A and B are shown apart, each in its own frame.
Chain A
Amino acid sequence: MTAFLRIRELWKSFGSFVALRDISLDVNEGEFLCFLGPSGCGKTTLLRAIAGLDIQTSGSVHQAGRDISSLPPAERDFGIVFQSYALFPNLTIARNIAFGLENTGVEKSEINKRVAELLELMGLPEQANKYPAQLSGGQQQRIALARAIAMSPGLLLLDEPLSALDAKVRVHLRHEMKDLQRKLKVTTIMVTHDQEEALSMADQIVVMNHGSIEQVGTPNEVYTRPVSLFVAGFIGEMNQMSAKVGGKNRVVIGDLEFACNTGGLDQGSDAIVVIRPEDVFPVEPDSGKATPENSLKVHIDAMEFLGSFWRTHLTTTKLGGQNLIADFSVNAVQRLKMQEGNDLMVEMKKSNLIAFDAKSGAIA
């Protein structure tokens, strides 16, 4: 099966500034895809190129087998929701939603039925005759969504659709939008700089940086198996430690040597070794077993209670002056009677340590 949306060797430059560099990407039909990256990484530029709003400098875009590379937006097949929603202020909610249905040969009664149906779907059946300014931000967002899907487009584009809302509404709408997308099975691309949003909603995440794609993968993949130092640092919390490759699958951090997959890195070369705070495990002192591989003694410098876990700042002289952050469950903290000032053995499992080339940031 060929992809529903196929982007090949796409470049976009503004004068001498290259905003998108050699983007190639496949999106399958019905998939929910997120463009995730820091501001200025080119994610919105890529979305606008897909929409035809700011056409790429070179490269091709195919949608459903059709070459749409040079088509103006009106000749493409997509619906779009902007961060500002861009609802027409002087038209009622019903007329906003019906805007794209008018003048298409659809009967007036059909339009009214479709509008009612969409309002029902959005859970806002009472609001048809109100104006956008009379609705809350969350309601406005849903109207913008209803307008975008009114014509059943093949592709739904969302440009930071939730970022103008306050935190509570945002979390609530995440689920609603995801449910709706599943129900409609419409191929969806959402631009966001909020990694939580991307992780919780997307089937596939495209992590972007400096106009290039760093990694494409499921939320679980980009979280647990980042392919570059940028992705590792950008998504979630990460301990980063400078290291040297000691031998095949051995790294030296400070005075200690750890087992770690070193891939194709040469012995003696510089590496960055990372581990997530939740992957730093406490070693039970009375377990009777021998001290496990990859463990070290640390000092508990400070502890922050964050509700479901404790964020713990660990210091040691053994790692060449580099410290660790570990997230311990409330349970473990109680069981091991951890408190600030105590010492502790922790383990960093080989499977949880990831090494990157220190120069290029690429995975080992």
Chain B
Amino acid sequence: MSVSDVAPGPRIREKVGRDAWIQRGFILIIALYLIISLALPLYAMLSKAFEVNIYQLDQFTIAVSSEDGTFPDLPRNLADINAEIGVLGPDDMTASGDGRLSLTPFFPDFSFRSPVKYRIAGVDDSAVFLVGSERHSGKVPVEVDSNTFRKVVIRPLKAHGFQNFARYFSTPSLFQSIGNSVMIALVSTVITVTLAFWFAYAISRSCMRFKGFFRLVAMLPILVPSLLPGIALVYLFGNQGILKSFLLGHSIYGPIGIVIGSVFFTFPHAMLIIGTALSISDARLYEAAVSLRASRWRTFWTVTIPGARYGLISAAFVVFNLVITDFGLPKVIGGQFNVLAVDIYKQVIGQQNFEMGAVVSVILLLPAVLAFAIDRQVQKRQIAGLTARSVVFEPKPNRRVDLMWFGYCAVVAVFIVGIIGICQMAALIKFWPYDLNLSLNNYNFNRMDGGGWSAYGNSIKLGLLTAIVGTVVVFLGAYMVEKTKGFHRARALFQMLAMLPMAIPGMVLGLAYIFFFNNPDNPLNLIYGTMAILVVSTVTHFYTVSHLTAVTALKQMDVEFESVAASLKQPFTKLFRQVTVPVCMPAILNISIYLFVNAMTTVSAVVFLYSTDTALASVAVLNMDDAGDIAPAAAMGMMIFYTNAGARLLHSLGSKLILKRSEAWRRR
């Protein structure tokens, strides 16, 4: 008996119902959002990095008349003239996008009073030159007198090539930053992961007291901009610092300051990841180790470390990524020590060299993308290593050991609280170190540069808008990826786009936005310089973690809800409103608080995008610090801290309320 494996009948195409049309519409809109807010700007940035503007001298011919006004038979090519007398070297051929080259240097005998006339022509139609502000092109010669010839300039032509990169690597002050950045990130990673590991270990494996307090303290750095520890370090170890002598003559402005500050602001991230890894270790393995009479030391290396290894690796990559892409901290305390993220800022804001900014961005993308890719692989494996039958480990009290862990955690807590405390002190002291009386003068932001109180207002506005818009976009997007059928390719593409922002440093995103949205040919450039672009960039910058949170929550919903609703002839929108959203409410709140807190503290993406009307508190901290108003900068940083702490508190109260109200149906 032989059976065919091919269906004989015509292929059935599903009739697209109302729900499917709506879903397609949503997927399209949100995919379009990610393409516009992420893919196209990145493309614009990449092409900018490879864009070069070159004076194409061989495109022009010039004829010079004798004093009586007779021209030679043949004009001369400008490239030939240059080859002969060497006005421009090979390196001088590249220019910035709006470079202009005057032609008079090519004629050493030039004098604007001379009766000599000049005829300029292109060799083909693409050659463009300006006489004053008048544009000429093509092969028809333009004749000008000597006086007018001063106003003749040629424009560089756009081309693509590796010249920008060549220039980058031949400029030691630029490419040294690669080594600096990697070194800083590596050292900070080793220190942070070590500190966070023992901290998490103490919390999960000892019976010390005040665990809840320590957990809370460990999370505090998330609430402040990364540059705040920089300000605290200036107060402690700066030129007039209280503890300056502790550094034995080394300067805090440079790698030492960056590393200490990085440890501060990355600590909670590492703590969370390692803490999770340690909390899922299996108690049965410890019982087995005890029954085999393994020593504590051996148990630690054969049970604890292997159990937490994926967490450790993941934490290391996350910290590395955070440090190498951070901009605020090295800006404040880096001094003359150049790192990649600050180089982007200097190239773009300081020197207006956008192409070079794009080159540095591409270089900064490489380690970040690499770290991200490896981290994703590691996390995939960790899930596979979990079993449902694991038994939760319960530590046994041991006075001496518990006391030791308490001491360790207390030291870390003092470091974290100390940094924030110093900033608070700096904010309240009248004029360090000459007048130590307390005052609220430093909170009088309207008297400083940086945007004043309206910057703080803008930040709140940005935080709320990001939280609302971002949560809606992220949750709808995750729902469409997770709960719709069909269009597999569109959903796979969407999933990839949603994971991408994690690997894109904020500075790179911000710069990419300049290239994309500030292009006059882009109809979307009307949002440039508005609050809208700040919201879009911030939502996109923090998209991935929010997306993963939403997907995790949605995965816990029964896969057949949509089928049931369809069988009951109810639109999926009703199901979404009445079931999906209420059930996922805790996750939705988590996403919105995450977006709010990050919108309040972020500096990197928005530093390129704010305008005078939309100055932000976090950027104000940076700018006031830059202007030497360090105490007001600290005060503004503290304002961000109070706001975020308040928001967190509201969030946890709200979550508790919702959980309480839904207690009846959440029990399983």
Interface residue B67 (Cβ < 8 Å from any Cβ of A): no
A247 vs chain B, min Cβ distance (A)? 26
Interface residue A2 (Cβ < 8 Å from any Cβ of B): no
Binary flags per residue of B5-45, CB closer than 8 Å to A gives 1, else 0: 10111111111111110000000000000000000000000
A51 touching B567 by the CB < 8 A rule? yes
CA distance A150 to B566 in the complex (A): 14
Interface residue A148 (Cβ < 8 Å from any Cβ of B): yes
Residue in B560, B569, B571, B667 whose CB lies within 8 Å of A86:
B560
The chain B residue sitting closest to A83, CB to CB, is B560
B27 vs chain A, min Cβ distance (A)? 17
B12 touching A133 by the CB < 8 A rule? no
B558 touching A74 by the CB < 8 A rule? no
A72 touching B579 by the CB < 8 A rule? no
Binary flags per residue of A72-98, CB closer than 8 Å to B gives 1, else 0: 111110111010101011110000000
Residue in A51, A70, A74 whose CB lies within 8 Å of B18:
A74
A130 vs chain B, min Cβ distance (A)? 8
Q: Within 8 Å CB of A76, what residues of B? A: 567
The chain A residue sitting closest to B561, CB to CB, is A86
CA distance A293 to B475 in the complex (A): 75
A74 touching B12 by the CB < 8 A rule? no
Q: Within 8 Å CB of A58, what residues of B? A: 7-12
A72 touching B14 by the CB < 8 A rule? yes
Q: Within 8 Å CB of A100, what residues of B? A: 567-570
Residue in B20, B569, B570, B665 whose CB lies within 8 Å of A90:
B665
Interface residue A99 (Cβ < 8 Å from any Cβ of B): yes
Q: Within 8 Å CB of A134, what residues of B? A: 664-665, 667
Interface residue B583 (Cβ < 8 Å from any Cβ of A): yes
Q: Within 8 Å CB of A84, what residues of B? A: 558, 560
A59 touching B7 by the CB < 8 A rule? yes
Most buried by B among A79, A80, A360: A80
Q: Within 8 Å CB of B569, what residues of A? A: 74, 100, 104, 151
**Interface size class of chain A, counting residues whose CB lies under 8 Å from the partner chain:** 35 or more
B649 vs chain A, min Cβ distance (A)? 26
Number of B residues contacting the other chain (C-beta, 8 Å)? Answer: 42
State whether A72 and B19 are in contact (beta carbons under 8 Å apart), knowing that A55-B14, A100-B570 are contacts in the complex.
Answer: yes
Interface residue B400 (Cβ < 8 Å from any Cβ of A): no
Interface residue A147 (Cβ < 8 Å from any Cβ of B): yes
State whether A86 and B9 are in contact (beta carbons under 8 Å apart), knowing that A72-B19, A74-B17, A100-B570 are contacts in the complex.
Answer: no
CA distance A151 to B564 in the complex (A): 13
B7 touching A11 by the CB < 8 A rule? yes
A133 touching B666 by the CB < 8 A rule? yes
A57 touching B11 by the CB < 8 A rule? yes
CA distance A128 to B579 in the complex (A): 18
Binary flags per residue of B533-558, CB closer than 8 Å to A gives 1, else 0: 00000000000000000000000001
The interface residues of chain B, by DSSP majority, are classed as: loop
Interface residue B662 (Cβ < 8 Å from any Cβ of A): yes
Q: Within 8 Å CB of A22, what residues of B? A: 3
* Chain B 552-597 residues near chain A, CB threshold 8 A: 558, 560-561, 563-571, 574-575, 578-579, 582-583
CA distance A360 to B667 in the complex (A): 53
Binary flags per residue of A86-118, CB closer than 8 Å to B gives 1, else 0: 101111000000011011100000000000000
Residue in A60, A90, A102, A150 whose CB lies within 8 Å of B582:
A90
Interface residue A302 (Cβ < 8 Å from any Cβ of B): no
Residue in B1, B10, B563, B668 whose CB lies within 8 Å of A73:
B563
State whether A59 and B12 are in contact (beta carbons under 8 Å apart), knowing that A13-B7, A74-B19, A133-B666 are contacts in the complex.
Answer: yes
B563 touching A99 by the CB < 8 A rule? no
The chain A residue sitting closest to B557, CB to CB, is A89
B560 touching A151 by the CB < 8 A rule? no
A69 touching B12 by the CB < 8 A rule? yes
The chain A residue sitting closest to B565, CB to CB, is A99
B296 vs chain A, min Cβ distance (A)? 43
Interface residue A230 (Cβ < 8 Å from any Cβ of B): no
A269 vs chain B, min Cβ distance (A)? 15
CA distance A11 to B9 in the complex (A): 8
The chain A residue sitting closest to B566, CB to CB, is A73
B147 vs chain A, min Cβ distance (A)? 77
CA distance A69 to B12 in the complex (A): 7
CA distance A75 to B568 in the complex (A): 10
CA distance A134 to B668 in the complex (A): 8
Interface residue A21 (Cβ < 8 Å from any Cβ of B): yes
CA distance A9 to B7 in the complex (A): 8
A18 touching B19 by the CB < 8 A rule? no
Q: Within 8 Å CB of A153, what residues of B? A: 567
Interface residue A336 (Cβ < 8 Å from any Cβ of B): no
Q: Within 8 Å CB of B17, what residues of A? A: 71-72, 74-75
Q: Within 8 Å CB of A147, what residues of B? A: 564, 568
Interface residue A131 (Cβ < 8 Å from any Cβ of B): yes
A88 touching B579 by the CB < 8 A rule? yes
Q: Within 8 Å CB of B558, what residues of A? A: 82, 84, 86
State whether A72 and B11 are in contact (beta carbons under 8 Å apart), knowing that A84-B560, A90-B579, A148-B567 are contacts in the complex.
Answer: no
Q: Within 8 Å CB of A37, what residues of B? A: none
The chain A residue sitting closest to B578, CB to CB, is A91
A80 touching B567 by the CB < 8 A rule? yes
Interface residue A56 (Cβ < 8 Å from any Cβ of B): yes
Q: Within 8 Å CB of B578, what residues of A? A: 88, 90-91
A55 touching B12 by the CB < 8 A rule? yes
Interface residue A161 (Cβ < 8 Å from any Cβ of B): no
CA distance A319 to B558 in the complex (A): 54
B581 vs chain A, min Cβ distance (A)? 10
* Chain B 447-470 residues near chain A, CB threshold 8 A: none
Q: Within 8 Å CB of B11, what residues of A? A: 57-58
CA distance A151 to B568 in the complex (A): 8
CA distance A90 to B668 in the complex (A): 12
Interface residue A256 (Cβ < 8 Å from any Cβ of B): no
* Chain B 633-668 residues near chain A, CB threshold 8 A: 662, 664-668
CA distance A82 to B13 in the complex (A): 25
Q: Within 8 Å CB of A360, what residues of B? A: 1
CA distance A60 to B12 in the complex (A): 8
* Chain A 128-176 residues near chain B, CB threshold 8 A: 131-134, 147-148, 150-151, 153
Residue in B3, B14, B579, B668 whose CB lies within 8 Å of A91:
B579
State whether A89 and B665 are in contact (beta carbons under 8 Å apart), knowing that A74-B17, A99-B568 are contacts in the complex.
Answer: yes
CA distance A44 to B11 in the complex (A): 21
CA distance A102 to B14 in the complex (A): 27
The chain A residue sitting closest to B15, CB to CB, is A70
The chain B residue sitting closest to A51, CB to CB, is B567
The chain B residue sitting closest to A101, CB to CB, is B568
B665 touching A132 by the CB < 8 A rule? yes
Interface residue A330 (Cβ < 8 Å from any Cβ of B): no
CA distance A79 to B568 in the complex (A): 7
Q: Within 8 Å CB of B565, what residues of A? A: 99
The chain A residue sitting closest to B564, CB to CB, is A86
A86 touching B563 by the CB < 8 A rule? yes
Interface residue A53 (Cβ < 8 Å from any Cβ of B): yes
Residue in A71, A73, A89 whose CB lies within 8 Å of B567:
A73
Residue in B10, B20, B563 whose CB lies within 8 Å of A53:
B563
* Chain A 203-232 residues near chain B, CB threshold 8 A: none
Q: Within 8 Å CB of A86, what residues of B? A: 558, 560-561, 563-564
CA distance A74 to B572 in the complex (A): 10
CA distance A69 to B485 in the complex (A): 18
B554 vs chain A, min Cβ distance (A)? 14
The chain A residue sitting closest to B5, CB to CB, is A18
CA distance A56 to B567 in the complex (A): 17
The chain B residue sitting closest to A8, CB to CB, is B9
Residue in A13, A71, A131 whose CB lies within 8 Å of B665:
A131
CA distance A9 to B11 in the complex (A): 12
B551 vs chain A, min Cβ distance (A)? 19
Q: Other CB < 8 Å A-B pairs besides A71-B15, A74-B571, A84-B558, 4 of them?
A: A59-B7, A59-B12, A69-B12, A73-B563
5 chain-A/chain-B pairs, Cβ below 8 angstroms:
A11-B7, A52-B566, A57-B11, A58-B10, A82-B563
User: Which 9 A-B pairs have CB atoms at the shortest separation, nearest pair first?
Assistant: A100-B568, A11-B7, A72-B17, A58-B9, A131-B665, A73-B566, A86-B560, A58-B7, A82-B560
